Structure 1
Amino acid sequence: MTDSQTEAALPGEVVTHARVRLVELPHQAGTMALITLDNDRDHTRPSTFGPAGLASLDAAVDQIVATPGIVAVGVTGKPFIFAVGADLSGIQHVRTREQALEIAQLGHNVFRRFGELDIPTFAFVNGAAIGGGFELPLHCTYRTVSSGAAALSLPEVFLGLIPGWGGAWLLPNLIGPADAMQVILTNAMSMNRQLKPAEGRKLGIFDAMFEPADFLEQSLEWASKVLTGEITITRKDPERGLWDTVIGFARSTLDARTHGAFTSPYAALDLIAAAKTATRDEGFAAEDEALADLVMGDELRASLYAFDLVQKRAKSPAGAPDRSLARTVTKVGVVGAGLMASQLALLFAKRLQVPVVMTDLDQDRIDKGLDFVRSELEQQVAKGRLSPDKANRLRALITGSTSKAGFADASFVIEAVFENMAVKQQVFAELEAVVADTCVIASNTSSLSLA
């Protein structure tokens, strides 16, 4: 990636530095080059991988390769944090599929080096490891995890992506397709459920688990015993005879749950299916192509927008008007019934406790949007986050229609349609003919100027 492309992809990147120090291992096991990932912020700003951070990690590996006498490479993170994956804050600046493809390839090119060096590599997962921060250890020869690691996951499908820096090929080839789908699909689609360290150890993702207090010391001790042969790690090749059967069952389950409404789960499933026979190069190349497609799609941007709206903007709204000017909202309209629209409808129902009406071009789209709302509420009931009674009340508040006439008495209407100016102008014209003069009409656009 060129300098200009890097700047366009992630302006203002908080760079995660890969700092190398040489450590003499116990039991005369030799010298390890230990990389620490650190963005020089505290734990409230986790380390991420943007282009500059990946370049730093790549340079660290170059430094190690050029240093004689190294018997192993280790990688760990700053206190409480290993790494939390790609820096998604600059996704809105990725304008072309070519840029997205280059970012995908850059991550692969750097991470795969940990699985292709002439000496063993060790990931010491001392804290949160999410997304690319979970994938980097998968490239390593051996992995330890802290029992206090608070967040371990591959949440990409939850966001509208796929594990795109090796995870969709490496994980099923490490623990088999069924368990890999639990991590990549089931957990991600269950409101981004996190793995507990003991679960990861039981699945075979991690080779050893140690207490947080002396995690690094214990990990180095363990690594030295692996290098001297005192400890032997044996891994069985996943059973491939039932691979296709497992994939077929998962596809049927996915169809029943999503009705094909979302792209990313199917893309992830296809990659896991292909991992049965694909070479490392083929698997990584397929991830690159899938990631490039999804980065340019609406699912990711809808998820990031909703996350930003709920998690960031709501906590510190900028330019909020005086509260005395506020009007009571008695009904909300949402134009569209896709992923973003459905997320917004559920958000408004939860926060405002008022009726919400979604509209779309045909009943099939409406049904898919309502199915998403129902599925999300059912999951929250199953996790104990909502009572069945509260979920039923919220579900009753959200309805759908193919007509905008239901917006006549709405206090607030927001469009969540295709990012095309002509389409949005047509929607606004149709809304102005229906809604009251006091209704606020809003847009969810992230790239078009509507001024």
Structure 2
Amino acid sequence: MVPDNVVETASLAGAGPAASKAPGKSASAYAAALLAIERHRPPGAPGADPRPVRSVGVIGAGLMASQLALVFAKQLGVPVLITDLSQAKVDGALAWVAAHLDKLVRRGQLSQTAARELGDLVRGTVDKNEYRNCDVVIEAVFEELSVKRAVLADIEPLLRADALLLTNTSSLCVTAMGRGLAHPERLVGLHFFNPVAVLPLVEIIRTENNDDASVATACSLARLLGKTAVLVTDTPGFVVNRILTRLFCELLQVIDDGADIELADHALDPLGLPMTPLTLLGFIGPAVQLHICETMHAAYPDRFYVSTSLAAIADARLRGYLDKPGTVLPEAAALLPAADAGNPPVPDTDAIQARILDALAEEVGLMLAEKVVAGPAEVDLCMLLGANFPQHQGGLTPLLDLSGASRRVWGTEFHPGSGFAE
């Protein structure tokens, strides 16, 4: 059975006789309604008053940290401080900010005066003691638990008692990051998506240690940044990365078992996704995706597969399975495991698509059972805004209902009575 918190959403879907005759239109209307709701506070957010945010600190000087610094300055209009271990890295981040502002001026999206004022808001230093004046500090360093824990432990004693501490982790356990901190109640996950200025979703990861004021401040901050926030419990991968990684794992296992790369990669084309899975993997990077797969495998070893071909491609430092035009790289094809005569017959496109959709239906149902999010609507909001899943399909759960995957896996739909599966 689908978990109890899979709720009736017919009112959102606009379901009725007409909707049941045209499930595609109904799914599109459902998605449009989701996106049209103005969310001052995501479902499940506490009613506590948020603390004011008058200054922000960003730990790290890589691309994500630089993007965050600029978005904070532009949207909040407050001073932003960047630090890193070396002045050269800090200077590189400041140079990126300046270059990006220049680009916006050239495009006519920003005046010279506004660009200068924004640039003046962002400054850098290697002196971590300057964080003492920040209301919010967010770390955006390498996605490794031990690294993030060390950074947070180092910075916490320098902060004011009421300062909010944020991590921009994409899949790691926020609770584990907070172990050893004097005040783990103020550590909240704020997962932005790349590019930060473009993708409107923020996953806010709440732990059992958090106090209401810290979570309320994180939710308010997301709104002030112009983002749509979804409140997520502290589980591996959260929503978007958990679903996408399950998709990658199923596809790569099929490829490792001998399926043609192009056939497998294009099996989901009829769903209208923004790009093929292997194209997306090339943007993410094989080493990064391998690390995420390994993290998810450690948490759920029976469902998340670590691909031997992906490991080999990452080790060879290839850009992925495909070149930029989307053709299979010969070097990648050469790293695939040799076909085993004892393996079952290679599935066709329809079988690969059904396998992946069934896996996603299983994962969504389990996420709802774990109360990772409030309901299916939050899953769809995450996939629409964080992964660009097509609006005409309703995001993800209406598609799973329409394809029959929900019923095959759980015996019922995520949106019973909506008309998606008619």
Same fold by TM-score, threshold 0.5 exceeded? no
TM-score in terms of structure 1 length: 0.31
Larger Rg: 1
RCO comparison, higher one (Cα < 8 Å, 6+): 2
